[in-house]
Amino acid sequence: MDEVFKALADTSRRRLLDSLNARNGQTLRELCAGLDMTRQSVSKHLAVLEAATLVTTARRGREKLHYLNAAPINAIADRWMSRYDRARARALADLKTALEQTPMAMSEFVYTTYIKTTPERLWEALTDPAFTRHYWGVAFETDWKPGSVITWRDEGATMADPEQVVLEADPPRRLSYTWHTFTPEWAASAGVDEETRARLRAEPRSKVTYEIEPAGETVKLTVVHEAGEALLNMSRHGWPSIVSGLKTLLETGAPLPAPTE
């Protein structure tokens, strides 16, 4: 937590976060162009933000793109917000909301967290239905070979489609697949109206990629969801909950407790 608060204490670093909040996925050159700072200064500030996991990066060919990461802000909210009067903590709540917002034109949502586990165990948790049922509520049925169809099963719906497939499987480092099919059964189970389902179906099929990297006694997990506007506006709120459930399950052996009213 100390690194997060230290990173947020600097005006220039907050300006960098504001810039990424306005347009996520920028290169170093783009960030320098939008701010009155030298390339060296921007690089140093980005290094501090990355160390605090407020910014995460992803390679796209030769370019290194920078993204806001909501995970540490979620952690601050979970640990501190319930301990203080809501009005006194309003500034922190506003910051959390700002960092979680994804601009309407965004095509990617990136979320990074660190889990005290092994890459092999994390891979198992991402692919084994016995695990995914606990933190996601969905069982994924496939052999996890590139090109294989994935069938989603939850209590209220079964979702399968010839284009719902595994794209990459490099255990225990990288996993990628196309996102699920928006069937009437899924809509009924999820409480999604037909107008919203029509908007989701009109968008190109989205893709989810998990990047797994050893990080000392922990494992760095980066989730990249490439999707259209309607789906990203929905899923960016769900990913923090899913990843938090995965982290809790691996670190404690128990699912994340259901929220109480």
Tokens, residue 3: 């690194």
Range list for CATH 3.30.530.20 in the chain: 110-252
Residues 149, 162 contacting (CB under 8 angstroms): yes
pTM above 0.85, yes or no: no
Beta bridge partners of 175: 169, 210
Residues 210, 175 contacting (CB under 8 angstroms): yes
pLDDT at 88: 41
Tokens, residue 131: 């695990």
Range list for CATH 1.10.10.10 in the chain: 2-101
pLDDT at 15: 87
Residues 141, 160 contacting (CB under 8 angstroms): no
pLDDT at 259: 47
SS3 content of the chain, % helix, strand, coil (to 5): 45, 25, 30
Sequence-ordered list of residues with C-beta below 8 angstroms from that of 205, at least 6 positions apart, any chain = 163, 164, 178, 179
pLDDT at 74: 67
pLDDT at 2: 78
pLDDT at 77: 61
Q: Quick one: fold of 110-252? A: Alpha-D-Glucose-1,6-Bisphosphate; Chain A, domain 4 (3.30.530)
SS3 state of residue 209: strand
pLDDT at 103: 42
Note down pLDDT in tens along the chain; length 261 residues. Answer: 778 888 888 888 888 888 888 788 889 988 988 777 888 999 999 999 988 888 988 887 888 888 888 777 666 665 555 444 444 444 444 444 544 444 434 478 889 999 999 999 999 999 999 999 999 889 999 999 999 999 998 877 788 889 899 999 999 999 999 987 888 888 888 889 999 999 999 998 899 999 999 999 999 999 999 998 889 888 888 898 899 999 999 999 877 665 444
Q: Quick one: fold of 2-101? A: Arc Repressor Mutant, subunit A (1.10.10)
